[in-house]
Amino acid sequence: MEDINSCNIDKLEKLISQARRIAIVTHMKPDGDAMGSSVAMYHYLCTFTSAGAKIVLNDPCPPYLQFLTEGIPASDLIIRQEKPVEAETAVRDSDLLFCLDFNAFHRADKLEDALKESKADKILIDHHLNPDRECFDLSFSETDISSASELTYQILMETGRIAHDASMLPAASATALMTGMTTDTNNFANSTYPSTFRMASALLAAGVDRDGILAHLYNQYGENRLRVLGHMMKDLMTITEDGVAYIVLDKETLERYNVAEGDTEGFVNMPLSISEVRMSLLLKEEDSKVRVSIRSKKGTSANRCASLYFNGGGHENAAGGKLNIPGDIAGIKDAAEYIERHTHIFLTQKKEDEK
Ligand code: 5GP
Ligand code: MN
């Protein structure tokens, strides 16, 4: 936790106390960690400062996470897709910006220019590899940690207001932090550290309703989610000789099963349960691109594969990116061949490198 030192915490508290207009931004298509860290910081700022804050999202909060934003007034939760001018103005005109759970401005998609142009002091709180530190006035970047939510928890615990007592966190912040850590660790299955369990323990002792969170996260889906999962695993999954499992969801399949944002959350992990599978890819077709999710077992780098062949990046064993249509492939029908060719090169070159 090199960045969490008394000098940086003092700087953070000074920036917060001087700010009049604070905005919180996270990555496009926000997941549980993005929403959890943002909502937690929002309630901390609303509780302990007169400035308050606005959360500015590029895309809407997915339905399975909307329990986190209940009670936040519409004027404090601005979605660029719905209100582009208001969203960009909130970012440009802020005097303090929190950038949570992303490592470079382009990960905020269409908010990128507003972030670049904003004269605000910018604070990074993130757990991805290779952060653009030079873009920020204060960086808290830690990769050996479960989530941006855990890092936010560690930082808030150091502040004078919380003073290492989790029961001093606003209840809504505590719930949001537990939620973000839970989704990014896949419910304690990956990237858990001793500090992660200490955080969970302190939050439980402070009264967080973990059963309630789990019910929201995992027991509120529509029937379509399991129906499309069945179809994916039975009919759409291919396993290559290199130990790569991949599934391509084209637009027609996504529409047939009425798949909404968040409905396929966690599916990309499942093929890793097969002994010979080293890496798993899930592709979803969108307009003029395919979004790619990659997960890998220890010893195979999802991050490297994403950055070499899928215009992306992320963490060592959980990464993402995209294929442009046209550009990387002519159409969705070419995706399978692209994946097989490039993952073969990736895994065989890796073997050569190891010799
Ligand atoms: P997911 O597969 O859950 O969408 O993303 C897994 C991880 O990869 C997340 O940490 C996410 O931030 C990162 N990631 C996803 N898509 C991209 C991308 O297009 N570019 C980069 N640099 N990282 C991505
Ligand atoms: Mn995260």
Q: What is the pLDDT of residues 302-340, one digit of tens each?
A: 999 999 999 999 999 999 999 999 999 999 999 999 999
Listed in order, strand segments (DSSP E) in the chain are: 22-26, 54-57, 77-79, 96-100, 121-126, 138-141, 238-239, 244-249, 279-286, 289-296, 313-314, 318-324
Q: Mutate which of 106, 107, 265, 294 to test ligand 1's pocket (most atoms within 8 Å of Cβ)?
A: 107
332, HSE (Cβ side, Cα atoms, 13 Å)? 18
Residues having C-beta closer than 5 Å to ion ligand 2: 33, 101, 148, 184
Q: What is the pLDDT of residues 240-289, one digit of tens each?
A: 999 999 999 999 999 999 999 889 999 999 999 999 999 999 999 999 99
How many angstroms is it from 184 CA to the middle of ligand 2? 6
**Cα–Cα distance for residue pair 303/320, rounded to 1 Å:** 8
- For atom 20 of ligand 1, the residue with the nearest CA is 312
- Ligand 1 neighbours, Cβ below 6 Å, are 27, 31, 128, 293, 312-315, 318-322
pLDDT tens per residue across all 355 residues of the chain: 789 999 999 999 999 999 999 999 999 999 999 999 999 999 999 999 999 899 999 999 999 999 999 999 999 999 999 999 999 999 999 999 999 999 999 999 999 999 999 999 999 999 999 999 999 999 999 999 999 999 999 999 999 999 999 999 999 999 999 999 999 999 999 999 999 999 999 999 999 999 999 999 999 999 999 999 999 999 999 999 999 999 999 999 999 999 998 899 999 999 999 999 999 999 999 999 999 999 999 999 999 999 999 999 999 999 999 999 999 999 999 999 999 999 999 999 866 666 5
How many angstroms is it from 206 CA to the middle of ligand 1? 32
* Spatial contact of 347 and 242, defined as CB atoms under 8 Å apart: yes
- What type of residue is 334? D
* Spatial contact of 297 and 275, defined as CB atoms under 8 Å apart: no
- Using CA atoms, how far residue 222 sits from 258, 293, 299, in Å, is 10, 22, 36
The predicted model scores a pTM of 0.93
How many angstroms is it from 261 CA to the middle of ligand 2? 17
**Cα–Cα distance for residue pair 7/271, rounded to 1 Å:** 45
295 φ/ψ angles, rounded to the nearest 5 degrees:
-130, 145
71, HSE (Cβ side, Cα atoms, 13 Å)? 9
Domains and CATH numbers, the chain: 6-218 (3.90.1640.10), 223-354 (3.10.310.30)
93, HSE (Cβ side, Cα atoms, 13 Å)? 9
